[in-house]
Amino acid sequence: MAISIKDVAQRAGVSVATVSRVFSNGPVSPELRERVEKAIAATGYRPNLSARRLRSQHSQTIGLMVADIRSPFFTALSRVVEDEAYRSGMRVILCNTDESTDRETMYLRLMEEERVTGLIWAPTRGSLERLADEDLPFPVVLVDRGGPVGRHDSVVLDNHQATATLVHHLHAIGRSRIVGLFGNTSSTAIDRHLGYLAATASLGLSSEAFFVAPSAEAAEREILKVFSRPDRPDGVIASSNLMLLGVVKAMRRLVLRTPDDVAIAGFDNETWSELVGPGLTVIEQPVGDIGRMAMTLLFDRLKAPKAPARKVMLSGRLIVRGSTAPVTGLVDEPVD
């Protein structure tokens, strides 16, 4: 049997209430406080968090539900969320949904059973639709994938704007046949597609969009197919980091040069982005800000459960590198 608060109380010659108050910085005389602290040190007592949570009805736990922690954006996000959470004395439960609504449903049930204080969630498109009507027994902040401002708070990149920026950039370096490659599971992809359409239209460019599973392999396969046609594009925009890698692989397979034959650009800046090929042009997402803002929205929501839902959009930053350098006959060095 482990040491409980009773043992500490007995040893210090006080009631359990006093021991509890020492932990919660309640009113305790310096003398008793010291006796209790000695007893804690002597016994090696550690409070039982399950008991504490049960009685206090505060789980001090937040859920984080993403498609796959291995996706760089989510990796970075989880790190920020955990830092912020631990800083305010909360724990994080991480769930990988693999873009499956079934798993999302299962994990939502788990979140309920854990009585989480709140949930930070990048939902699939399917769940996002259902969320519009349904209420959950805990506050939710959507990240990365927001949809229209509904009943839940959300914080997302300005995807429309960001994608338009990429299109304009490719246009500025002289590309006119720019295709877009988008994921088929997230609302993010939809927003980026719309931005792509708007920008190509406003520039009077042709547009052609492809939707595939959000993986390097699927992207590579699709691009190989697209580029096997006679009328080759001269620019590609990929809607995620992994898909961008797929595009690069396809270019290698096709022995096409970047940026001379095809300029390519995408999303998310990573340590290795400047080292792949001639350096990859990307929109950098402010992951740190996104994560912190999500936590802020969540805490605000806890304070004011009835306040209207907020949708926060953050802007991305274009980082131009060799993969979209103007063609000069010479492969440029990467640019920061």
Partner DNA sequence: AAGCTTCATGTAATCCTTTTCAATGGCTTT
Partner DNA sequence: AAAGCCATTGAAAAGGATTACATGAAGCTT
Kindly identify the residues of this chain, within the stretch 24-43, that bind DNA according to CB under 7 A: 24, 26-29, 31-32
Range in contact with a second copy (rule: CB under 8 A) among 5-13, 51-59, 154-162, 224-232: 51-59
Binding segment (CB under 7 A) for DNA, from list 50-58, 210-218, 267-275, 279-287: 50-58
Q: Which listed residue (34, 38, 41, 48) binds DNA by CB under 7 A? A: 48
Could you say which residues in the range 197-236 bind a second copy, by CB under 8 A? 216
How far apart are the C-alpha atoms of 101 and 113, rounded to whole Å? 19
As measured in angstroms, the least distance from the Cβ of 16 to DNA is: 5
- Give the residue, chosen from 7, 83, 129, 284, that forms a contact with a second copy under the rule CB under 8 A: 83
**N- to C-terminal Cα separation, the chain:** 60
* Contact flag: residue 16 with DNA (CB under 7 A): yes
Residue 118, token pair as written in the block: 């709140």
Q: Using CA atoms, how far apart are residues 322 and 333, in angstroms rounded to an integer?
A: 6
Q: For residues 16 and 313, which CB has a smaller minimum distance to DNA in the complex?
A: 16
142 touches 129 (CB < 8 A): no
Asked whether position 334 contacts a second copy by CB under 8 A, the answer is yes
Residue 292 in the binding site for DNA (CB under 7 A): no
Q: Does 112 bind DNA (CB under 7 A)?
A: no
Taking CB under 7 A as the criterion, the residue among 10, 21, 261, 276 binding DNA is 21
Sole binder of DNA in the list 41, 42, 56, 201 (CB under 7 A): 56
Residues 134-153 that bind a second copy (CB under 8 A): 137
* 34, 102, 134, 333: residue in contact with a second copy (rule CB under 8 A): 333
Q: Does 15 bind DNA (CB under 7 A)?
A: yes
Residue 95 pairs in a beta bridge with 65
**Contact at 8 Å (CB) between 95 and 69?**
no
In terms of Cβ atoms closer than 10 Å to its own Cβ (0-12, 13-18, 19+), residue 256 is middle
Binding mask 204-243 for DNA (x = CB under 7 A): ----------------------------------------
130 lies in the site for a second copy, by CB under 8 A: no
Tell me 154's DSSP state: E
Of residues 257-276, those binding a second copy (CB under 8 A): 270-272, 274-276
Beta bridge partners of 183: 212
272 binds, among DNA, a second copy, none (CB under 5 to 8 A by kind): a second copy
Q: What tokens does 171 get? A: 């246009």
Query: Is it true that the peptide bond before 259 is cis, omega within 30 degrees of 0?
Result: yes
Q: Which residues of 119-144 are buried (b: 16+ CB within 10 A; e: fewer)?
A: bbbbbbbebbeebeeeebebbbbbbb
Place of tokens 């409980």: 4
- C-alpha to C-alpha distances, 64 to 81, 129, 315, nearest whole angstrom: 8, 19, 23
Binding site for DNA (CB under 7 A): 1-2, 4-6, 13-21, 23-24, 26-29, 31-32, 45-48, 51-52, 54-57
